[in-house]
A and B are shown apart, each in its own frame.
Chain A
Amino acid sequence: MSRQQNADRQRPSPDALLNAAKHQDPRAGRLKIFVGAAPGVGKTYEMLVQAHARKRDGYDVVVGVAEAHGRKETEALLDGLEIIPRRQFAHRGQSLTEMDLDAALARRPQIILVDELAHTNAPGCRHPKRYLDVQELLDAGIDVYTTVNIQHIESLNDVIAQITHVRVRETVPDSIFDRADAVELVDLTPDDLIQRLKDGKVYVPDQAKRALDHFFSPANLTALRELALRRTADRVDEQLIAQMQARAIRGPWAAGERIIVCVDESPHGAGLVRYTKRLADRLHAPWTTLYVEGARTQQLDDKARDRVSDTLRLALSLDGEAVTIPAAASRIADDILGYAYASNATHVVVGKSDRSRWFELLHGSVVRDLCRRSGPISIHVIAGGELSTSPGAAKANRSDEATASFNPRPYLLAAVAVALALGASRVIEPRLGVENVDLVFLTAIVAIASKLGLGPSLFASVAASLCYNFFFLPPLYTFTIAEPTNLTAFGFFVLMAIVVSNIAARVRTQAVTAVSRARTTEALYAFSRKLAAVGSLDDVLWATAYQTAMMLSVRVVLLLPENGGIAIRAGYPPEDMLDEADLAAAKWAWSNDQTAGRGSNTLPGGKWLFSPMRTGRGAVGIIGIDRDKPGPMLTPDERRMFDALIDQAALAIERVHLVEDMDRAKRTLETDRLRAALLTSISHDLRTPLASILGAASTIRDLSKDLSDAQKSELLATVIDESDRLNRFIANLLDMTKLEAGAVVPNVAAQDLREIVGSTLRRAQKILAAHSVVLHLAPDLPMLNLDAVLFEQALFNLLDNAAKYSPPGGKIEMRAYKDGDRARLQILDEGPGIPQQDLENIFGKFYRARKRDNVRAGTGLGLAIARGFIEAMGGTIVAENRSDRAGACFIVTLPAAAQPLLDTKE
């Protein structure tokens, strides 16, 4: 062994460490399972004994459910333990009682006793199986003690059925057995157990008595005991290996094994999967269940498709992986091996074919192809018969399928086509000779095969052969053939007909598969494009609901998190109510990030099926679907499409959320920037005038003697001017604050623009002293809907701005004119104008144009306020550069009021 490998072996395996960490998750409860080989070994008794011991140690122990089955010793042990009252469920007039899961979760003991892990819950419970209740209790951080018989372990189900000829329906997945932190085998020798049975100490329901008498044979019990011991020992072994790996102890554990089991639609699939699970456990290898979806998948009926999906689901429940790949190569074996090589598999498990030799000759045998090409990969061929649960049932199934799928129409069409070909042959035979007649028939067969598929074309082949023989081969009008050469020709004709049928039919099914796949792909692509185009969350939700409803013919609701829970946000057809039970399923699906509702493991009694919509970062919402058709909600094909749809929807929803987050972050950034600008502005704009005022005033007070009267009045003018400036700045800050707070409520009334212009000019007299103001106010100006006070302030700010940038002596023009049902007011200055890229920016808060030497700094608020006020009154303002000369032009557009009908001629 190289040093590198050596080092690898000694380094703790990351997977092992992770697994160890998972088991040590402090929040999850610990699971202890009491395993028995058969009923009556005393599991419940042992569990209760240990519960009392824990209780004495000071633990908070309660009984969720414990079945004493009338045994006195067991019942006596229930004394002194708190028992959570069972919950009643009415089912078909019967009243059933089950463990009250919600009460148990609410009670939150440290340890809870849950007897009979494999129990099936009454309809109406949250979970169909008790082991799912146990999982929820564990997830809630409660330790669980439970009991199970070895024949209920899923992967041993087949083996035990073969040994005992009794199949138990209630099974628990191996995963929960493997998850257990402690497994205790409650052992009793077969002789002792049989003695107990005779003493009546074993609870047996009356109706099953005879079956169980057979079950409790010494041979069976010995075998079961051995299985129980071995399974428990396996578990111990696993723990040991896990520990060794985690602590980097060198050891002979298997490395690098990987198993692939190939399944098809046959009923043996489940047996193959269970076999592989056992093999994988022994080899400590990961395993994958592979289904190759080929042309044949399209021809399967619903039952067969359901079987495939059941098999894949079983694999998942046994902790395997389930993968479906499309058939790419012409041989299925090549697809399987391609996948096996790609995933570094070392073993491939397939079922032994029960097809006829004839079928294999025509279609080839997957098993033989696999064996021939597998190279280093071991191929395990498992006998189908051994795995079959009940051959009778399988046969019945098959005949069902045959009758269900028979459709006479293609065969009638085929008969018509052959008849036409016969007619055509009769016409051309006298001219071209009998040797060309077979081509006419072959043409008809190709046409039938490519349009109608294999069955009708084989039928046509037979019919055509008979016609050919009957009408064209001497002796005519008999089914006998006289000449040996004709016999050979006829033989070739039949062979050709069948081969051509086959090829054409295969091409057809491939085309049909391709078309159906292309259609699905196209629909998904269109959907993703649609999602990419919409921007708002509501649009995404609506598109998802609509598309899912259309593609799968289901009703759809979408629920998104809201105030700590989830609420319906969209539906198709629009739906805003779910009944209590469905809403509970949706909530459970959300809080546990798992599928719930109809047909699932949780709250299966509901009308709707809810699935989380997940992205890599977690669930973003829940999608619920409902269909009137009874039975499984979705076929495997539909399930795949559904998964693809909700994956895309989840990504789109996440994208919308991300965009919102980014916007929020951007706004925060903007706010921060503004806050900084505000502080700079306040400190600068408040201090500068204050400095001038203070300086001027103190000069007058302290140096009065040395100042001439002219100097004094100049200083006093500074004090007054700077005070004005300070006052304007504070007014601006107040206005801005009001705008930001949304406190500007315009008091709009019909106003005369000329009047406001006049009063503004009077107010701005001082700042406009150095400029000439030219007014062009059209005489037909309508009354305008304005708040006079706000508009005066806006106009004042615009004039202030114009005065600031126009050179002294420059002209400031105001033009107002009517423009349809609105009025426009232009304010033009003779300053340097505004850089093109800043035309919009200048209305931003604290934005200041490049400062020039002779321009006094403004607050950077005036134009922002002007825009804020004007827009609050329903007007607009934009900045442009003058086209006739340098200078800026501000254009205010305002809505006109209805002109009053005034009679001023009294």
Chain B
Amino acid sequence: MTAPPIKVLVIDDEPPIRKLLRTGLSTQGYAILDAPNGKAGLALLDEKPDLIILDLGLPDIAGHDLLRAVRARDAQIPIVVLSSRDDEGGKVLALDLGADDYVTKPFGMDELLARMRAALRHRLQVEGERPLFRTGDLSVDLVRRLVKVGDGDVKLSPKEYDLLRLLVQHAGKVLTHKFLLGSLWDDHTDAQYLRVYVRQLRQKIEKDPEQPQYVLTETGVGYRMRAPDSPNAT
């Protein structure tokens, strides 16, 4: 017996985008609810969607305010934000307000699906953390604190390991500078520290630290760990 389909609430004022998402997502087995504005979107929260795709530029309610309102109703539901280009500040703010990830318009369907999967996976992980993470040649055993690239063990300093563990726990999801700094040090630490540790970490786990494959930079926003190879969360 198959699980009931995952319900996705799309809040966007552009009919072509709603139509595209309805078509694209339903082929992947998602059930779609859509709303042309913030008010209608909030009303549809009663339908208990599993994930929300929220456009930040709505006609009636400012995107960030809507995000707050949603989070006030439901602290857990994954939210993927659709934002415009060149609005790194808006993206960071949305993430700080509790959005799980973002996609910049215009976007490809594969990109959106990946973001959605990462957001959903993280929600499931919160309930039962997977002990072994694997992507490409990199494997991280969170229980035994073992990091391997291929067959070789990688020796990390405690801070480097803490950074890697955070990234792995949210693999596929973007983590803001602020979140990482706040988790590893405190909110007021200079972002340079983070950059230096990311560089050191890359030198230890990446094949070509100049063109990293695992720890990816989201310029102006933060970092993202490549998604695991075999999603076993479904």
Contact status A751-B195, CB under 8 Å: yes
Find out whether the CB atom of A902 lies under 8 angstroms from the CB atom of B193. Answer: yes
Given the contacts A749-B191, A900-B190, A789 and B88 also touching, CB distance less than 8 Å: yes
B192's partner among A723, A731, A761, A900 (CB-CB below 8 A) is A900
Q: How far is the CB of B222 from chain A (nearest CB, A)?
A: 11
In the bound assembly, the distance between CA atoms of A394 and B70 in angstroms comes to: 107
Closest residue on chain A to residue B195 by CB atoms: A752
* A 752-778 contacts with B by CB, 8 A: 752, 754-759, 761-762, 775, 777
Q: Are A750 and B192 within 8 A (Cβ)?
A: yes
Contact present for B86 and A734 (CB under 8 Å) = yes
Answer whether residue B231 sits at the interface, using C-beta atoms and an 8 A cutoff: no
Q: Does A788 contact B (CB under 8 A)?
A: yes
Interface hits, A23-77 → B, CB 8 Å:
none
Interface string of B158-185 (1 = CB under 8 A from A): 1100000000000000000000000000
- CB pair B220 A761 closer than 8 Å: no
**Closest residue of B by beta carbon distance from A791:** B219
CB nearest to B193 among chain A residues: A902
Known A789-B219, A906-B157: A755·B198 in contact at CB below 8 Å: yes
Q: Which B residues are in CB contact (< 8 Å) with A777?
A: 210
Bound CA–CA A777/B158 (angstroms): 28
Interface 0/1 of B137-163, CB less than 8 Å to A:
000000000000000000001110000
A residues within 8 A CB of B85?
731, 734
Quick one: CB contact mask for A722-751 with B, threshold 8 Å, 1 for yes?
Answer: 010001000100100000000000010111
List of A residues within 8 angstroms of B218 by Cβ:
759
- A772-801 interface with B by 8 A CB criterion: 775, 777, 783, 788-789, 792
Q: Knowing A755-B195, A904-B200 are in contact, say whether A792-B157 is a contact too (CB < 8 A).
A: no
Does A529 have its Cβ within 8 Å of any Cβ on chain B? no
**CB of A409 within 8 A of chain B?**
no
Across the interface, name the chain B residue whose C-beta is closest to A735.
B86
Give the shortest distance, in Å, between B104 (CB) and chain A (any CB): 10
Specify which chain B residues have a CB less than 8 angstroms from the CB of A731 in the assembled complex: 85-86
Is A905 in contact with chain B by the CB < 8 A criterion? yes
Output the least CB separation between A433 and chain B (Å): 108
Residue of B nearest to A731 (CB): B85
Q: With A904-B157, A904-B159 in contact, do A758 and B192 touch (Cβ < 8 Å)?
A: no
A755 touches B217 (CB 8 A): yes
Query: Which A residues touch B86, using CB under 8 A?
Result: 731, 734, 789
Point out the residues of chain B lying under 8 angstroms from A904, CB to CB: 157, 159, 196-197, 200
Instruction: Flag if A762 contacts B211 (CB, 8 Å).
Output: yes
Contact code string A884-906 (vs B, CB < 8 Å = 1, else 0): 00000000000000001010111
Say yes or no for B212: interface residue by CB 8 A criterion. Answer: yes
Cross-interface CB contact of B196 among A762, A788, A902, cutoff 8 Å: A902
Question: When the two chains form their complex, are residues B219 and A788 in contact, meaning their CB atoms are under 8 A apart?
Answer: yes
Q: In the complex, what's the smallest C-beta–C-beta distance from A534 to chain B, in angstroms? A: 44
How many of B's residues come within 8 Å of A, CB to CB?
27
Q: Does B216 sit within 8 A of A, measured CB to CB?
A: yes
- Which B residues, 75 to 105, have Cβ-Cβ distances below 8 Å to chain A? 85-86, 88
Contact of B157 among A747, A757, A905 (CB under 8 A): A905
Q: What residue in chain A is nearest B159 (Cβ atoms)?
A: A906
Interface secondary structure of B, over-half rule: mixed
Name, among A755, A757, A783, A904, the residue most crowded by chain B CB atoms within 10 Å (CB to CB): A755
Once A761-B211, A906-B157, A906-B158 are accepted as A-B contacts, the answer to whether A792 and B196 lie under 8 Å apart by CB is no
Q: Is B106 an interface residue (CB 8 A)?
A: yes
B199 in contact (CB, < 8 A): yes
A751: min CB distance to chain B, Å: 7
Which B residue's beta carbon lies closest to that of A726?
Answer: B106
A725 → B minimal CB distance (Å): 12
Chain B: minimal CB distance from A18 (Å): 67
User: B84's closest neighbor in chain A, by CB?
Assistant: A734
CA distance A734 to B85 in the complex (A): 10
CB distance from B23 to the nearest CB of A (A): 15
- If A754-B209, A758-B210, A758-B211 touch, whether A792 touches B219 (CB-CB below 8 Å) is yes
Asked if residues A759 and B193 are in contact (CB atoms below 8 Å), the reply is no
With a CB–CB cut-off of 8 A, which chain A residues contact B158?
A: 906
Selected contact of A775 from candidates B196, B200, B210, CB within 8 Å: B210
Q: Across the interface, which residues of A come within 8 angstroms of B195, CB to CB?
A: 750-752, 755, 783
| B190, B196, B197, most chain A CB atoms within 10 A | B196
Say how far A566's CB is from chain B's closest CB, in angstroms.
47
B-side contacts of A788, CB under 8 Å: 219-220
Q: Convert B40-76 into 0s and 1s, putting 1 for each residue whose CB lies closer than 8 angstroms to a CB of A.
A: 0000000000000000000000000000000000000
Query: Which of B106, B210, B220 counts the most A-chain CB atoms under 10 A from its CB?
Result: B210
Docked-complex contact B106 and A723, CB < 8 angstroms: yes
CA distance A398 to B191 in the complex (A): 93
CB A757 to nearest CB in B, in angstroms, measures: 7
A754 touches B192 (CB 8 A): no
Q: Are B217 and A759 in contact (CB under 8 A)?
A: yes
- Is B220 a contact partner of A727 (Cβ separation < 8 A)? no
Interface string of B9-30 (1 = CB under 8 A from A): 0000000000000000000000
Check if B199 sits within 8 Å of A754, measured CB to CB: yes
One digit per residue, 1 when the CB lies within 8 angstroms of any chain B CB and 0 when it does not, for chain A 248-282 equals: 00000000000000000000000000000000000
Question: What's the Cα separation between A747 and B221 when bound, in Å?
Answer: 12
Contact with A along B186-208 (1 / 0, CB 8 A): 00001111011111100000000
Q: In the complex, which residues of chain A have a beta carbon less than 8 angstroms from the beta carbon of B212?
A: 758
Closest residue of B by beta carbon distance from A761 = B211
Q: Enumerate chain A residues within 8 angstroms of B217, measured Cβ to Cβ.
A: 755-756, 758-759, 762
By a CB distance below 8 angstroms, the chain B residues around A747 are: 220
B196 adjacent to A900 (CB under 8 Å): yes
Q: Smallest CB–CB gap between A538 and chain B, Å?
A: 40
Q: Which of B85, B195, B198 has the most CB of A within 10 A?
A: B195
Among A723, A759, A775, A906, contact of B219 (Cβ-Cβ < 8 Å):
A759
Expressed in whole angstroms, the minimum distance between the Cβ of B106 and any Cβ of chain A is: 6
- Whole-angstrom CA separation of A851 from B157 in the bound complex: 54
A-B contact list, 21 entries, CB within 8 Å: A731-B86, A734-B86, A750-B195, A751-B195, A752-B195, A754-B199, A755-B198, A755-B199, A758-B209, A758-B211, A759-B217, A759-B218, A761-B211, A775-B210, A775-B211, A777-B210, A783-B192, A789-B219, A900-B190, A902-B196, A904-B197
Residues of B in contact with A (beta carbons under 8 Å apart): 85-86, 88, 106, 108, 157-159, 190-193, 195-200, 209-212, 216-220
Q: Which 5 A-B pairs have the closest CB atoms?
A: A759-B217, A789-B220, A900-B192, A792-B219, A750-B192
Chain A contact residues, CB within 8 Å of chain B: 720, 723, 727, 731, 734, 747, 749-752, 754-759, 761-762, 775, 777, 783, 788-789, 792, 900, 902, 904-906
List 4 other contacts, CB 8 Å, given A788-B220, A789-B219: A727-B106, A754-B199, A783-B192, A788-B219
